[in-house]
Structure 1
Amino acid sequence: MTGPAADGGSRRRPRDPLGRAPLVLLIPAVLAVLLLVTPLVTMVAATDPASLVAALRSEAVRDALWLSIVTSTAAIVICLVLGLPLAWVLARVDFRGRRLVRSLVIVPMVLPPVVAGIALRTAFGRSGLLGEPLLGLTGFAFPYTTWGVVLAHVFVALPFVVISMEGGLRAAGPVYDAAAATLGASRRLTFRRVTVPLAMPGIAAALVLGWARSLGEFGATITFNGNYPGITQTMPTLIYVERQADTDAVLALSLVMLAVSVGVLVALRDRWLVTA
């Protein structure tokens, strides 16, 4: 049978064989969605359109937004170069201490942002363990520079990227790697031609989420680099400064950040973030 009726029937969602979802699970799920969405909706509703237009015309806002986008993009490229091999090692290589390595990778995810900034200072500051010899050899120091912002973004985003990528690599399954090996492919060739293509949706999703996390980074950035317009002042640090002076401007700036973050996720959802 063909025709509109058949097409309409084919689009109907099949009945769940397990039965209706219980209210004891649906109600908390709805409350969770409301808890996450309500603050965003109220922020949008409270924003004065005139303040939003003025914010978009502000040179300081444009500079901070551009710096946020550039540093987040540079950070996520570094996260890809460093994070994908690390995620592969954690997902595919069985070695003593793997759980410890994974735990150490996760630690920056749970650190308070200010503590992350202090940790960066002790390692990469002018008198830090790595920063002092770097300054002596090259004359370059990370703190209070745009590269310092990138470093802070990498530090906070890399754990999200690695753990998400590891999940994607595990979902792809090692059985395909084994099949490639039986056909004579080296491990390096298998990684490039089999493992990565199969895990690409998970890898891409990890990069998008890491980029969004980097874009919103505040604590480690301001602690390690200060807040210098055009050099280290990103959108989150600009919002922090404006919060003390102009509530309407803060709402407008926050809405700009919300629009950028949501826009990226919405634009990529069908290609990279849909799993079913």
Structure 2
Amino acid sequence: MTDWLSPAEWDALRLSLRVSIWATVVSLPFALLAAHALARWRFPGHGLLNGIVHLPLVMPPVVTGYLLLLTFGRRGWVGEYLDQWFGIVFAFRWTGAALAAGIMAFPLMVRAIRLSIEAVDPRLEQAAGSLGANRIWVWFTVTLPLILPGVIAGAILAFAKAMGEFGATITFVSNIPGQTQTLPSAIYSFLQVPGGESSAARLVIISIIVAMAALILSEWLARRVARRVAGQ
């Protein structure tokens, strides 16, 4: 791989993997909570929460990136506080790319998990609760094993989405080689310079391979886990 790719191409691939993995891992607990709230709870503002969760899907990615810049930039109302008190900076850092990618992939993860939760018969959870188990224990021992295929599918789809994120990322963290230049940003950059078509083509091929592998792996793992859960 290192012989086929130039150092700049390899850096873009490595950074994309790093950003996508962190975006998926950090987003997963919040996606589980949001999906459970949307699937099981009824409260004032339920529709508003559903709209906020899915807003990145319908809003232009550049707008999402701009809002992130206003919020988490060094002078943003959250970013300034994080920088001064904790030394945490998102803007123009790879961590900001992970944040942008995670937000853009979040709706896909939530939707997959929510559909899995809604497919679980609530009477199973009620039966476990009637035997004395508290809600948290019921969720981890009954609900989670049953929705595991959806969790896996959602996480892998979110990873693939994060790998391909461009608009929000480049708006929030720019396109700095070796620091924030992910695969889509690198492809865009190579297409802007004479003779960069071959480098862009190689990265396009890698992007397609990663995306297809993620989709296939998501389907395979979901079916495997579903069969194991059904067997139990």
TM-score, normalised to structure 1, is 0.76
What CA RMSD, in Å, does the superposition of the two structures yield over aligned residues?
1.9
Shift of 1:55: 8.2
Shift of 1:94: 1.9
Distance in 2 separating the partners of 1:134 and 1:206: 30
**What are the equivalent positions in structure 2 for 1:46-195 lying under 5 Å apart?**
56-195=4-143
**What are the equivalent positions in structure 2 for 1:26-41 lying under 5 Å apart?**
none
Partner-residue secondary structure (3-state), 2:76: coil
- Asked if the contact 1:83–1:158 (Cα under 8 Å) also holds between the matched residues in 2, the reply is yes
Larger Rg: 1
Q: Find the counterpart in structure 2 of residue 36 from structure 1.
A: none
Task: Name which of 150, 162, 169 aligns with 1:221.
Answer: 169
Shift of 1:267: 3.3
Q: Find the counterpart in structure 2 of residue 259 from structure 1.
A: 209
- Asked if the contact 2:174–2:180 (Cα under 8 Å) also holds between the matched residues in 1, the reply is yes
Distance in 1 separating the partners of 2:64 and 2:134: 39
Partner-residue secondary structure (3-state), 2:4: helix
Distance 1:247 1:199, change over 3 A: same
Distance in 2 separating the partners of 1:137 and 1:207: 32
Q: How many residues align?
A: 224
Distance in 2 separating the partners of 1:141 and 1:82: 21
The percent identity for this pair of structures is: 37
TM-score, normalised to structure 2, is 0.90
Q: Find the counterpart in structure 1 of residue 192 from structure 2.
A: 244
- Asked if the contact 1:55–1:252 (Cα under 8 Å) also holds between the matched residues in 2, the reply is no
Distance in 2 separating the partners of 1:239 and 1:186: 51
Shift of 1:109: 1.2
Partner-residue secondary structure (3-state), 1:254: helix
The answer for unaligned runs of 5 or more in structure 1 is: 1-52
1:197 partner letter = P
Distance in 1 separating the partners of 2:211 and 2:25: 18
